[in-house]
Structure 1
Amino acid sequence: MKHIINTLYIGGIALLLSVTSCKKFGDTNIDPTRSSNLDPSIQLTTVQLRFSGDLNINQRTTFMLTMPLVQQIAGAYSNRWGTAYYKDPGMLGILWDDSYGNEVVNIIDAVKRTNGVAEKSNLNAICRIMKVYIFARMTDLYGDLPYSEAGKGIKPKFDTQQEIYNDFFKELTAASAQLDASKDLVKGDVFYNGNVNSWKKFANSLRLRYAMRLVKIDLAKAKTEAQAAFNAGVFTANADVCKVDHEDVRNNYEEGGKGYIKGNAVSESFHKDGVPGRFTSVFLDQLRSTNDPRMKYMVKYYVDNPAIPPINRIDITDQVVEKQGYQGVTPGQYIWNDYKDSFPVVVPGVGTVTVTNNDQKAQPANFLLRFNAPYLHLTYSEVELLLAEATVRFGETFGGTAIDHYKKGIEAGIQQLSFFPSGPTATSTEINTFIQGNALLAGKEIELINKQLWITLFLNGPESFSNWRRSGFPLLTPGVGIDEPSQSTTIPRRFEYPFTEEEQNKANFVKVLPGLGGEDSWNARVWWDKQ
């Protein structure tokens, strides 16, 4: 991993393809001076690391918006956009502006450079899968967007999300079939180190994820694609998961030519402003009410101290839990709301510690937020839980009963905590006790499955937000701003387009508005999010 990242930096992070300002996507979304000899494997590395290592995108999109929107976290002032529904066009537009100016430009070019090149057949297939993955995060948050004409140096048309999804299924199918272990060895791949069999499973598992996205809009299509994905071969064990193991460095906001993408940007997001986001009372209630063993591993109390590295904070969990149990923050509120008086505790090896109001709001354990924490792109737990839902909806044609898949999904979700440095390994007794106490009840299968997905997708905000919208679970009550008025009475359903698109690509921009009810609103719904 370190060798790959260092190679990336030596190679200049494909800067020739990202020197154009992302703010000028409406005029041209590809650098007309692109290099004729740029190595597409470096471009692949670039887009893979940027996906979870770019602080500009991940702090806004994940920590400030999507994780608070699905009420996993709240409390920090920088959670206000997603928990109190305070709308900021700059926050909503950052993924669009930065991705089109960087990841999209690079991956489209990498696909072009390798298309039809016999000695780069596997690299081409992997880049095609990455292109789908990059665009999926964007279309799921925005809806219709430039896809077929992106990267052509023109004012591109917006493709409908239905058209985009149809192409996703076609591309994932073709790219998976194209992968061949007897052909070129792919370099620069930080997901699977060029293992084509792993990439096949990843492509098919993505296909399953996107198939289940359609359950509200096109159930027949969802069934067909889910079955085809399963038949082609999805993840079958935790060893298959797609993740990036980041380096133990703190990312900074990207500067031209710097490329601060080596550390985990989601982790940095939690610590960037000195007040890490807290768990919501809603999320903790789910763990508490089901006697989830992840509670004691994931949920901690610390003495906040911005002057020291987060990993060195004083752990006061045992002392605070003994006094008040696990308490989170109400969605829509900050840590200073519902103010709590300080009290002293004695910490072995430290002495007497004063526990302030801020310290009494539970937060994610340090191991989850290390700067070298892995970013989990797609897990075996998610795959099994999706198969459980597919079985409930479509029948037992997915290799087992819904209960079988549900149990496997829960077990894998608990076990994936061990992927993190210093992460815990739950005992088989803990896991089995939890599964036995949380049966898949008839008539409530979809709800119970997706509550487990809500937990297993923790720290993957965009995917948590998408899964909540397409499934409807867990049932969430909109937060109400306490210190400032909320700008929505309901939980927003999408990201609004950046102003730059309306200004510079208006002829195409206005064509998407009828499908949004005539207005580019964050309360409108994307195509698959049928009401």
Structure 2
Amino acid sequence: MKTKLTRHLLRLLVIAGVMSSCNKFEATNIDPSRSSNLDPALQLTNVQLRFSGDLEVNEKLGLVFTMPLVQQIGGIWLNRNGQFYVYDRNYLSSLWNNTYNNDVVNIVDAVNRTSGDPAKSNMNAVCRIMKVYEFARLTDVYGDIPYKEAGKAYSDGIIRPVFDKQEDIYNDFFKELTEAAAQLDASKDAVTGDLFYRGNIESWRKFANSLRLRYAMRLVKVNPEKARQEAEAAVQAGVFSSNAEMCKMNHLNIQNTYTDVRGNAVSAAFCQSEVIPRVQNTFIEQLRSTNDPRLSRLVKYYIDIVNRPFERIDITAPVVAQIGYNGVPSNEYIWDGWRNPITIDVPGRGTMQAVNNDQKAQLANFMIRNDAPYLHLTYAEVEFLLAEMAVRWGSNNGGTAAEHYARGIQAAMGQLSLFPGGPVIPDTEIQGFIRANALLPGREIEIINQQLWIALLLNGPEAYANWRRTGFPRLTPSPNYDSSIQTIPRRFEYPLLELEQNASNAAAAVQSIGPGGNVWTNRVWWDKP
């Protein structure tokens, strides 16, 4: 794996440069050039790596905004935009500017290059699935976006693409995922360059169907019948049935930079700061109030060593003995670190002082290693969605709501062992937790999605989307003296560059948003009160 990634890196950087649409005189999602012999396999590798390896996007989308917004991570200066709703147009534009300029251009081109070629039928299907996945992250954050015309300047002469309605984009997602899954055929071409499943055709089929289930459930408020139909069809076609089938990216043990995408960029975002982000009390209280066995495994106390995150001194046991588990309040920073010291005895180090900042819990080291896997879509999520389907529609997909819920919890706790150095939680503890935290009549959907929120830790964009979709967990807005608004934002605003250089199409999209237009307090199409 390491040799393969290292070998491809220089070629991938060349691809990124060739395919990038950085012409400042045109819209940001346009590619003015085209290579005549680019390898779609390398384009696929590039897009897969960058999804979780691009530090610019994952830092601003995840650490700066979405993880603090859903009150999992917070406390440091970098978290303030999401934690306290501090407006920053540049940060809100990061996903748009970097994804359209690189990943959209590459994956659209890869789909076009392989379309209609019998010798590349499976590669085409895989790239179609990856294309849906890329655009879903964009539309779920921004709403209406350029979709059908995005990335096509090199072939169609389109300079300023129109914005498609999110409803139309989702309808095309369902079509693409259905057709691509049906197109996959293990007797046909081998898929090379695939870092998700190493070209395993059946795994890609299940990934496509599981994505279809995820996106179908986005529609439960805006179009419940469409949601039910698409979800049932996805399940019948075959979704994940074990942790072994989930979609994850195994990164290398390399500290990412803004140009090297081989390591886990979420981890790099955590570790490049002088002060490591803390866990918010909202998250800790959910674990503590339910006696969740993950609390002692996920949440630790450390004394930080500046710029050497994995040399932090673990002081969990003595601090827990004195104050229990305590994170950062949702509306506070962790400043004034010298205050309220307590004296602790650390084995092997003797007596030490733990000051205020040391008494704010952090994620365990194994969660933020450079080679931590990025979990794109898990079996746990699939089971929680199946449980929700059973509650909403009485769906019988191999179990009752309670049975799917229990499988989801077991899978979510089990997936921690996939991290290097991660824990294996004994089944006795898992089963005890399930028995003590059963579904309650009238609160089933809330309880299911509280567990999904925990399972989505470190996947900020998806946790943010699922919170908007369901309203669970119930989050209390956390503005402070720095806040630009007093309520939790519901979408990201379009970049200024797009509004200026694609003015007429962007203006139409802004008009369709409704009163207030392009503001982050408005909602995307599927996000209904």
User: What is the aligned partner in structure 1 of residue 460 from structure 2?
Assistant: 461
Distance 1:2 1:147 in 2: 34
Distance 2:354 2:128 in 1: 52
Distance 1:526 1:250 in 2: 35
Distance 2:2 2:40 in 1: 19
User: What is the aligned partner in structure 2 of residue 389 from structure 1?
Assistant: 388
Secondary structure of 1:26's counterpart equals coil
Distance 1:23 1:213, change over 3 A: farther
Distance 1:136 1:274, change over 3 A: same
Give the superposition deviation at 1:395. 1.0
User: What is the aligned partner in structure 2 of residue 377 from structure 1?
Assistant: 376
Cα deviation code 1:18-69 (max 9, x no counterpart): 343176651761132x210110000000000000000000000000000000
Q: Is the 8 A contact 1:212 1:226 kept in 2?
A: yes
Residue type at the aligned position of 1:477: T
Give the superposition deviation at 1:12. 3.8
Q: With the length of structure 2 as denominator, give the TM-score of the two structures.
A: 0.97
Give the superposition deviation at 1:316. 0.4
Distance 1:22 1:134, change over 3 A: farther
Unaligned runs of 5+ in 1: 255-259
Q: Is the 8 A contact 1:287 1:294 kept in 2?
A: yes
Give the superposition deviation at 1:247. 0.5
Residue type at the aligned position of 2:284: L
User: What is the aligned partner in structure 1 of residue 419 from structure 2?
Assistant: 420
Indicate whether 1:489 and 2:486 are aligned: yes
Indicate whether 1:21 and 2:11 are aligned: no
* Aligned CA-pair RMSD: 1.4
Indicate whether 1:514 and 2:511 are aligned: yes
User: What is the aligned partner in structure 2 of residue 245 from structure 1?
Assistant: 250
Residue type at the aligned position of 1:223: R
Q: With the length of structure 1 as denominator, give the TM-score of the two structures.
A: 0.96
User: What is the aligned partner in structure 1 of residue 183 from structure 2?
Assistant: 178
Give the superposition deviation at 1:339. 7.6
Secondary structure of 2:417's counterpart equals helix
Distance 1:325 1:28 in 2: 49
Q: Is the 8 A contact 1:25 1:97 kept in 2?
A: no
Q: Is the 8 A contact 1:22 1:97 kept in 2?
A: no
User: What is the aligned partner in structure 1 of residue 293 from structure 2?
Assistant: 293
Q: Which of 160, 163, 166 is residue 165 of structure 2 equivalent to?
A: 160
Residue type at the aligned position of 1:87: Y
Distance 1:526 1:472 in 2: 14
Distance 1:22 1:329 in 2: 43
Q: Is the 8 A contact 1:335 1:358 kept in 2?
A: yes
Cα deviation code 1:161-189 (max 9, x no counterpart): 00000000000000000011111111110
Distance 1:470 1:19, change over 3 A: closer
Matched length: 522
User: What is the aligned partner in structure 1 of residue 121 from structure 2?
Assistant: 121
User: What is the aligned partner in structure 1 of residue 450 from structure 2?
Assistant: 451
Written as runs of structure 1 = structure 2, the 5 A alignment for 1:262-341 is 262-308=262-308, 310-336=309-335, 340-341=339-340
Residue type at the aligned position of 1:526: V
Secondary structure of 2:129's counterpart equals helix
User: What is the aligned partner in structure 2 of residue 404 from structure 1?
Assistant: 403
Distance 1:28 1:275, change over 3 A: closer
Indicate whether 1:528 and 2:526 are aligned: yes
Indicate whether 1:234 and 2:239 are aligned: yes
Q: Is the 8 A contact 1:27 1:155 kept in 2?
A: no
Give the superposition deviation at 1:103. 0.3
User: What is the aligned partner in structure 1 of residue 341 from structure 2?
Assistant: 342
Indicate whether 1:480 and 2:479 are aligned: yes
Distance 1:521 1:507 in 2: 18
User: What is the aligned partner in structure 2 of residue 470 from structure 1?
Assistant: 469
User: What is the aligned partner in structure 2 of residue 504 from structure 1?
Assistant: 501
Using the TM superposition, name which of 109-118 and 4-13 deviates more. 4-13
Q: Is the 8 A contact 1:388 1:406 kept in 2?
A: yes
Unaligned runs of 5+ in 2: 154-158
Q: Is the 8 A contact 1:23 1:97 kept in 2?
A: no
